[in-house]
Amino acid sequence: MGTLRKKAPWYAPGLAFECRQCGRCCEGPEEGYVWVSKTEIAAIARYLGTGEEDVRNRYVRRVGRRYSLIEQKESNDCIFLVTNNDGSKKCRIYAVRPQQCRTWPFWPSNLTSPEAWSLAHLRCPGINHGKVHPLEEIEAMQSDTSR
């Protein structure tokens, strides 16, 4: 009796992505959750030169047993998405952004099908451009998002 082989995912040849730091993945208008761990809150606090309690009070909300970054009230953009003088946007904490942000766009919802990947590309101009990420790297990011 042979062993059952798992069918390779549609993205087995790899997927191209290069972050253009445009901020579109961080924009509203819909609300969402950007999950942050206690370790990530501590890293954000160190990066901002403030205390963990200050970060929790100013930038984080509790959702059940977890923590999520809050959104800007007027736009539902991530609280750390800032607009530059030229109108471009960037992440204020990009160097220490949460793991959820680091693994974009390789989220399970974007990898369900080529169509889902194409829909994500409508929002994110970095999809299908730049470095091709191999299957092993994508799968490693998948396991990082399921913490």
Domain ranges of the chain: 15-145
Residues in the chain predicted with pLDDT less than 50, given as ranges, are 147
Alpha-carbon distance 1 to 112, whole Å?
Answer: 31
Nearest CA among 16, 21, 29, 33 for reference residue 98:
33
State yes or no: cis peptide before 98, omega within 30 of 0. no
Alpha-carbon distance 41 to 80, whole Å?
Answer: 13
Q: Note the pLDDT of residue 102.
A: 93
